[in-house]
Amino acid sequence: MTAIQSPARPAEDGAVPTSGRRETRTKTYKMGYGRWWWALPAVVLMLALIYATTASGAFYAFTDWAGIGDYNFVGLDNFTKIFRTPELTGALVNTLILAFGFLILTNVLGLLFALALNRGLKSRFVLRTLLFMPVVIAPIAVSYIWKFIFAFNGPLNQTLGAIGLKSWQHDWLGDPDLALWCVMAVMIWQSVGFCMVIYLAGLATVPVELEEAAALDGAGVFTRFRHIIVPMIQPSIAIATTLMLIQGLRVFDQVLALTAGGPAGATQTLATEVYQQAFVFNNFGFGAALALVLSVLILIFTVIQQYATRDRL
């Protein structure tokens, strides 16, 4: 940021400001302006590698390009086809269900774990580590582990049978009514530790003395949470909700590894549709249109979320 100095005032005895002071102010302006040049290479690379490539991909959304050879400009036909195809509107609905279910449950569970492990419990550091461990594992590896657990002859059904709950045994990933919720459960299991860490950072800023003073004045647990903790951790709430919303909207790895969009398209999302249309069926133009819809969707919800939490950042 450029440093701005207040204009020089004439001395009380009428003396003119010295030239040395003017030189200092000029030097300050030059140093502030010069700092921007250090960021220029990064800005150019970002414009070239991210924004320019994204813009070129958006252009192909209006064509029928197959990924190789010539293409024809088809206008809005790809977008019309998206919203007239039941399978694709189903993928859009699945994406929204996964995104908002993931957003709500990860934040609620992450906040509850953070409150439980904030202070007082002797084993809190061990428990925090155990809860955070899934975050450092690759999503594709986590998904294959859970695919083994959800298998019909896997540990989950075996455990249910061992405790006398054979009627609860299911083909979890093969049932269209359960598969989407299984995918959401895996996403939450892996990301709840990350939310917990964000909320622990926010809770560390809440003074203990303030809570103790409120308790001495007769404030109950819920009252202290509502009127002291929540207002002071609002920046953490804004960060956690933004990150989880974006992660939920662009979910891909877990769906591909667990169900590959099945059974019967019950877990298909916009991200997996983009992959299949562009790289499996060679409908690159149509896949680009799906990707553009997904990008606009993420942009709209992110802007709304940022506007709703604009005073909390």
Residue 312 confidence (pLDDT) above 60: no
pLDDT of residue 187: 95
Is 154 part of any domain?
no
Provide the percentage of residues in the chain whose pLDDT is more than 70. 88
Split at pLDDT 50, 70, 90, the class of 170 is confident
pLDDT of residue 30: 54
Burial of 111: CB neighbours in 10 Å, binned 0-12, 13-18, 19+ = buried
Is 208 part of any domain?
yes
Provide mean pLDDT across the span 20-32: 52
- What rounded mean pLDDT belongs to the chain? 85
Is 215 part of any domain?
yes
pLDDT of residue 16: 46
Q: Match 């200092």 to its residue by tokens.
A: 24
pLDDT (tens digit, 9 = 90+) per residue, 212-269? 898 888 888 889 898 899 999 988 998 999 899 889 998 999 999 999 888 888 999 9
Provide mean pLDDT across the span 280-304: 89
pLDDT of residue 49: 87
Split at pLDDT 50, 70, 90, the class of 5 is very low
pLDDT of residue 33: 59
Split at pLDDT 50, 70, 90, the class of 194 is very high
Provide the percentage of residues in the chain whose pLDDT is more than 90. 39
pLDDT of residue 208: 87
Q: How many domains does the chain have?
A: 1
197, 45, 85: which is closest to 133 by C-alpha? 197
Split at pLDDT 50, 70, 90, the class of 117 is very high
Is 68 part of any domain?
no
Split at pLDDT 50, 70, 90, the class of 135 is very high
pLDDT (tens digit, 9 = 90+) per residue, 54-96? 888 888 899 988 878 888 888 889 999 888 888 888 999 999 9
Is 252 part of any domain?
yes
H or E stretch covering 200: helix 179-203
Is 86 part of any domain?
yes
Residue 254 structural domain:
74-137+171-311
Contacts of 248 (CB under 8 A, 6+ apart): 98, 99, 100, 101, 102, 103, 187
d(CA 115, CA 222): 12
pLDDT of residue 96: 93
Split at pLDDT 50, 70, 90, the class of 3 is very low
Is 104 part of any domain?
yes
d(CA 309, CA 235): 8
Phi, psi values for residue 140, rounded to 5°: -70, -35
CATH number at residue 200: 1.10.3720.10
Is 192 part of any domain?
yes
Residue 138 confidence (pLDDT) above 80: yes
The helix/strand/coil state of 173 is coil
